[in-house]
Structures are given as structure tokens and as C-alpha cells.
Amino acid sequence: MSEYLVPISIEYLEEGQYLATSSVLQGLIAQGRTIAETIEIAEDVARKIIESCIEHGDRLPKNLTVGQRPHFKLNVKIPVPVET
């Protein structure tokens, strides 16, 4: 089993949801209620796109890398609802 590293961008939508897209993997669009849910959906969508490319003999994007998980630091502001 190979593990592909797929870069994604996540943005907050005014409707209160999050949207994930990828500039590398065309067709990857995922929307969820939380960042965690959005990432989970994006992983499923990416897996299906990659598996479809492999199954049909299509080339995978050049910027898609196989390898270990990268080391990074992510700074975000998270919404924390508190009843007052």
C-alpha cells in the first residue's frame, strides 16, 4: 500500500461550514461541518480519485508525492462556543 501526500486548502464558508480543495489533485472538493470532518471527507475523495486514476491507467499529477507524513506546524483559530 502506498501513501500519497495530497496538499489541500481549507477555507471557512459564511454558511458555517468548511471547504477543502486541492491545487494538485483536480476534482478534490470536500465540505464538512468541522475541520476534522472536512479533512476526513477530503481523504476519502482523494483516495477515490487516485484509485480511479490507477485503475484506468491515467497519470497521477507530478506534484503528488509518495512518502512519509510531513512534519509541520499548523496555526489556526478554532471556534469555541461557550454558553454565557
Does domain 4-66 bear CATH number 3.30.160.250? yes
**The predicted structure's pLDDT at residue 70:** 67
| Residue pLDDT, tens place only, 23-33 | 999 999 999 99
pLDDT at 61: 87
Would you state the pLDDT for residue 3?
87
Q: For the chain, give every domain's residue range.
A: 4-66
- Quickly tell me which residue has 476534522 as its cell: 36
Task: Specify the pLDDT at position 64.
Answer: 82
> Phi, psi (5° rounding) for residue 57?
75, 20
pLDDT in tens, 33-44: 999 999 999 999
